[in-house]
Copies of this chain bind each other. A is one copy, B any other.
Amino acid sequence: MSTQAPRRVRTGKRQDVMTAALNEFQEHGFLETSMDRIAEVAHVSKRTVYNHFASKEALFEAILDELIVRCGHLEFPPLNEEPLEDQLLVIGRMYAELVTSDDFIKLSRVVLSRFIQSPRMAGTAVTGREPQKPIQNWIETAQKQGRLPPFDAAQATTQFAGMITSTEYWPRLIQNETAFDEQGRDQYLKSIVSMFLGHYAHLETPTSPA
């Protein structure tokens, strides 16, 4: 299994290596993936891999960097005059989308497979503490403007995000299952928003549909 690489005019070897490595890493984990294997999958000689990346570690870091950039930062529309319910629903959707995006899942897998035992940086990207910061900011803004009463915003954020990740993120990360179809998910998000605001904003909540 090697011989002729498929006709490849461009000199995107470096990118090929990274792509192959990313897939192997996220599928089989860091240690279970050999450099030989990566070279093979990338249709590239092992030496080429090492010409581009000094070591397996360096290759891994390069992938991490790219992935982090690719995931970017959540940017919600700023607090406006619309009903909080509608705005929070949008936020919930965006958060769920980020957290289930291919890139984010890959990033999580790759990080997790490497750092379960060394908490150095594992937590930062993975536990979702980082990406849920914008939610907290939004809540705090709403509080400052008197649209929400004072309460522990960090805790509330954790609750809100926790309900989302527990169905959207973790199951997808660990197994590959998705709990909902498009529509089921939206109904679930609505239920979360309603519960959340019902508790924290004294909203009259129509009971959720059976």
A residues with CB within 8 A of B: 27-29, 31-32, 109, 112-113, 116-117, 119, 122-123, 126-127, 129, 149-152, 155, 158-159, 161-167, 170-171, 174-177, 179, 188, 191-192, 194-196, 198-200, 202, 205, 207-208, 210
Contacts and interface: CB of A to CB of B under 8 A. Distances in A.
Nearest to A161: B166
A171 B210 CA distance: 33
How many copies of this chain does one complex carry?
Answer: 2
A187 to B, nearest CB: 9
A41 to B, nearest CB: 15
Given A113-B117, A199-B205, A123 B210 contact: no
Contacts of A151: 207-208, 210
Contacts of A127: 170-171, 174-175
Nearest to A25: B117
A85 to B, nearest CB: 13
Given A119-B175, A122-B175, 16 more contacts: A27-B117, A32-B117, A109-B116, A112-B112, A112-B116, A129-B171, A150-B210, A151-B210, A155-B191, A159-B191, A162-B165, A170-B170, A194-B199, A195-B198, A195-B200, A199-B208
9 contacts: A27-B117, A29-B117, A109-B116, A119-B175, A123-B174, A127-B175, A152-B210, A162-B163, A200-B207
A21 to B, nearest CB: 15
Contacts of A126: 174
A175 to B, nearest CB: 4
A28 B117 contact: yes
Task: Point out which of A109, A122, A200 has the most chain B C-beta atoms below 10 A from its C-beta.
Answer: A200
10 nearest A-B residue pairs (beta carbon): A162-B166, A195-B199, A123-B175, A119-B175, A162-B163, A31-B31, A150-B210, A159-B163, A162-B162, A28-B117
